[in-house]
Structure formats: C-alpha cells, structure tokens
Amino acid sequence: MSTEPLLDFSGVAMRFPNGTVALSGVDLTVGRGEFVTVVGPSGCGKSTLLRIASGLETASEGTTALGTTRIGYVFQDATLLPWRTVQSNVELLAELNHQSKKVRSAKAKEAIDLVGLTGFEKNLPKQLSGGMRMRTSLARSLTLDPELFLFDEPFGALDEITRERLGDELLRIFAEQNFAGLFITHSVAEAVYLSTRVIVMSGRPGRIVDEFDIPFGYPRDPDIRFTPEFAALSGKVSHALREGHS
C-alpha cells in the first residue's frame, strides 16, 4: 500500500456566489485500498465535496491535493449518450482522450466484461434496464483505469435488489483493481456494507461530524448485513446522522 494519499483535503469550505455555504472545514484523506463512504442528509454538500475532488468545482477555502490524474467519476444517473451503443458509450472517454480505435475497443471489451455486460455491446441505452445502464456507466469509467474512483449516489435511482447486486459487483471490482473509492450515498446500510470507512456529515453547511472504521474484510459476504455487528455499526452511524442533523 502506498503511503501517499490519493485525495487529501484540509479545511475545505465551499461558498457559492449566492451566499450559500455548502461545506465548511472538511478534512478528508483517502488512500489506495480505501473505500470511503460519505453519508449525510440531502443538501448537506456531499455532492459538492465530490465535485471539488473531480475538479468540476473549486473550493473557496482550504487545500485540496490529489495524488493522481486517473480519476473515475460516476454520476447519479448513467449519463449515457442515447445514440451510441453500449460498446460505443464505453469507448467514449478513451475516444475523448484521443486513443486509437484498437486500444479503445480492447479497453471497452475488458470493462464490459468486468461489469458483466458481455453480449449487450450492440444494444442502445433505451433497450437496457436501469441497472444495466448503470453498469455501462461504470464500465465507461473503468476504461480510465482510475486510481481514484468517485461515486455520486450512483445507485440511488435503482430498486433495492438491483442496488445490492451492483454493490456486490462494485466490491468485487474494487477488490480486483485496488483503487481508492469515495462514495456518496444517503443509505446507511449501503455505506456500512460497502466501505472501509464511513464519514457522517451534518446538514448545511456540511461538516464532518463523525467517522467510523468498518472492520469487515473483503470479499464481503452479503449475509453480514444480518449480523449483530453490522446492525450495531449501522445503529451508530444512524445515530451520528441524527445528531448531526439536529
């Protein structure tokens, strides 16, 4: 494990031109092999945190350091281009980075395989279910071979079964690729199940109110969700969430 963190935020605050303060005094470090999940009430600025990490926004205060340029970003919705097939959507990022057709297509094939979409390469987004669209989106980011992977509530719009299955797939890929993950969600169970560490944020302006190390190893058995240990941890996170909210 490298000692250099892939994401290092210190005293990060975000104040929008209209005066809204979205974040205040956020210190956060994510290293390789860590899967950090941020939970918080809606509007607490957790998405803003991710947008700052990706470079889509610039923090108005504090320092932000990134240990890599290979950053994957998964949006809330799949953001596929409806006129492109699965294959062509997955190739998009490599295409935007001016890679050759051959490299693109090889990378896309590998990523499509990794998310279990082999056989659907020629399908258009409108022919896919919500879960498959999200898999395509995931595959698209995987072609960047990211060292830091940012997820902005990617499974929020999916039904629970699909959501859990995709969570398991994500963990499998995480175990294989060993990236650093920063995952935003508002589901406590999802947070505890996926991560090595859970960060709890307060309502606006978003501050970090608590942190929990998750002791479970990988690969994770889906049944750990039903252990007393899991329940106890989820309880603590929920409690911190309520405290921070009031």
Partner 1 sequence: MSTSVKSAVQSTQPATRKHAGSKSRRILSTWGPPLAVFAVILIAWYLLADYLFGIGRKTVLPTPNRIVSESFFGRGDPITEDLLRAVGLSLSVALIGLAISITIGVVWAVLMSQGRWVERSLFPYAVILQCVPILALVPLIGTSIGYSFESRVLVCVLISLFPMVSNTLFGLQSVERSQRELFKLQNASRWTVLTKLQFPNALPAIFAGMRISAGLAVVGAIVGDFFFRRGQPGLGILIANYASRVQTAQLFASIITAALIGVLIFLLFGWIAKVAVGRWYEPAS
Instruction: Tell me whether residue 101 or residue 242 sits nearer to partner 1 (CB atom).
Output: 101
CA–chain centroid gap for 219, Å, is 18
- Contacting residue, 62, 75, 110, 209, with partner 1 by CB under 8 A: 75
Exposure string (b/e) for 128-156, b if CB count within 10 Å is 16 or more?
beebbbbbbbbbbbbbbebbbbbbbbbbe
Phi, psi of 90 (to 5 degrees): -70, -30
Instruction: Tell me whether residue 95 or residue 145 sits nearer to partner 1 (CB atom).
Output: 95
Note whether 157 binds partner 1 by CB under 8 A. no
CB of 190 to partner 1, least distance (A): 19
Q: Which of 134, 152, 146 is nearest to 38 (CA)?
A: 152
Q: How many residues bind partner 1 (CB under 8 A)?
A: 29
Q: Rounded CA gap, 85 and 243, in Å?
A: 46
CB of 56 to partner 1, least distance (A): 6
Long-range contacts of 119-124 (CB under 8 A, 24+ apart): 120/86, 121/85, 121/86, 121/87, 122/85, 122/86, 122/87, 123/85, 123/86, 124/82, 124/83, 124/84, 124/85, 124/86
- Residue pair 178/33 in contact (Cβ under 8 Å)? The answer is yes
CB of 175 to partner 1, least distance (A): 21
Note whether 77 binds partner 1 by CB under 8 A. yes
CB of 160 to partner 1, least distance (A): 13
Note whether 17 binds partner 1 by CB under 8 A. no
Site for partner 1 in 83-142 (CB under 8 A): 83, 92-93, 95-97, 116, 120, 123-129, 131-132
Instruction: Tell me whether residue 181 or residue 244 sits nearer to partner 1 (CB atom).
Output: 181
Note whether 76 binds partner 1 by CB under 8 A. yes
Q: Rounded CA gap, 206 and 26, in Å?
A: 8
Instruction: Tell me whether residue 56 or residue 224 sits nearer to partner 1 (CB atom).
Output: 56
Q: Which residues bind partner 1 (CB under 8 A)?
A: 54-56, 71, 73, 75-77, 79, 81-83, 92-93, 95-97, 116, 120, 123-129, 131-132, 162
